[in-house]
Structure 1
Amino acid sequence: MSDKEIPIAVVASQAAPRAQPSIYPEPFASRMKGRVKRPLGDLFGLSNFGVNLTHLLPGSGSALRHAHAKQDEFIYILQGHPVLITNAGETQLSPGMCAGFKAGTGNAYQLLNKSNEEVVYLELGDRSAGDSVVYPDDDIQATLVDDKWKFTHKNGLPY
């Protein structure tokens, strides 16, 4: 992307959604139905961290419950009442609340929209090289190789 193509400012809710709704392989990708991510950081050519405006329809989830080895993540709830699920259990969130997830702690997390209203939140995460992700509830793991996520079963066999 050249400097000429980078906008000065945008209306976040009008930014194009991610072209591929989920990078997970099946059968996990279809579990992300009802989630729409708008990659705001990419619009501005940000390379050190990512920013997404994410919408969760009723019944949908943010991701598989996961924990990063090297990348920190942060969420800020703008609209709706998602449930945050971590190793400590469930926490009801509401607009104005935020949560942070330090890399390397093993504290796996996800948001679920168990309500009848849409949830909208900002998610921010760094882009540390050499990251890996564990998914304690599912037979999947991920490793960041050359800026691309590689998914395998927990026994190392590829998807």
Structure 2
Amino acid sequence: MSAEQHPQDPSAVVATEVAPRAKPSNYPEPYASRVSGREKRALGEVFALRNFGVNLTRLQPGAISALRHTHSRQDEFIYVLEGHPVLVTDQGETPLAPGMCAGFRAGNGNAHHLVNRGDEVVVYLEVGDRTRGDSVNYPDDDLAAVIGPDGGWQFAHKDGRPY
């Protein structure tokens, strides 16, 4: 189910019945395969939200949420629904549990991601705004991203060469 499949915007949906994103990752290889085991259901797209996005995300055991990253202009927020991910930031590791949340203010430089080191699936909501001009720094990888004129991510090496 997606916004394109609905001639009218829906008022409510069952989140787990929203189809997963068709393209599991926007990262170029070799990075896209590092987030295998991650499934996102773009809930905000169903409602044609313009100012922020909401994803219902599942991480299989051993999966990561994203490459460790920090946004220049986009605030991010996560809320854990199921499982016990580990939040990895510049300050270290923080075990999370259902009912816990974390927020990442734009421009603070604190790179972060979630890792599922457990045997159970992790399910969480992630919310991010859609501020134009955002860029992403990946301190552990030779990757940088900027929002292109079309609103999509454009990836390059840190020296500026495109992928």
TM-score range, shorter chain: over 0.9
Partner of 1:40: 43
Partner of 2:154: 150
Partner of 1:138: 141
Q: What is the Cα deviation at residue 11 of structure 1?
A: 0.5
Give the distance between the partners of 1:127 and 1:119, measured in 2 at CA: 25
Partner of 1:12: 15
Partner of 1:50: 53
Q: What is the Cα deviation at residue 84 of structure 1?
A: 0.2
SS in 2 for 1:4: coil
- Alignment of 1:107 onto 2:98: no
Q: What is the Cα deviation at residue 8 of structure 1?
A: 1.4
1:105 counterpart letter in structure 2: N
The equivalences for 1:61-80 within 5 A come to 61-80=64-83
**Among 86, 89, 93, the residue aligned to 1:86:** 89
Coordinate RMSD, CA, aligned: 1.1
1:95 counterpart letter in structure 2: P
Q: What is the Cα deviation at residue 6 of structure 1?
A: 1.6
Alpha-carbon deviations, 1:65-114, whole Å to 9, x = none? 00000000000000000000001000000000000000000000000000
| Aligned residue pairs, count | 159
**5+ residue gaps, structure 2:** none
Alpha-carbon deviations, 1:1-35, whole Å to 9, x = none? 68833211111011110010000000000111100
Normalised to the residue count of structure 1, the TM-score between the two structures is 0.98
Q: Percent identity?
A: 62
SS in 1 for 2:7: helix
Normalised to the residue count of structure 2, the TM-score between the two structures is 0.95
Give the distance between the partners of 2:157 and 2:9, measured in 1 at CA: 38
Give the distance between the partners of 2:153 and 2:58, measured in 1 at CA: 22
**5+ residue gaps, structure 1:** none
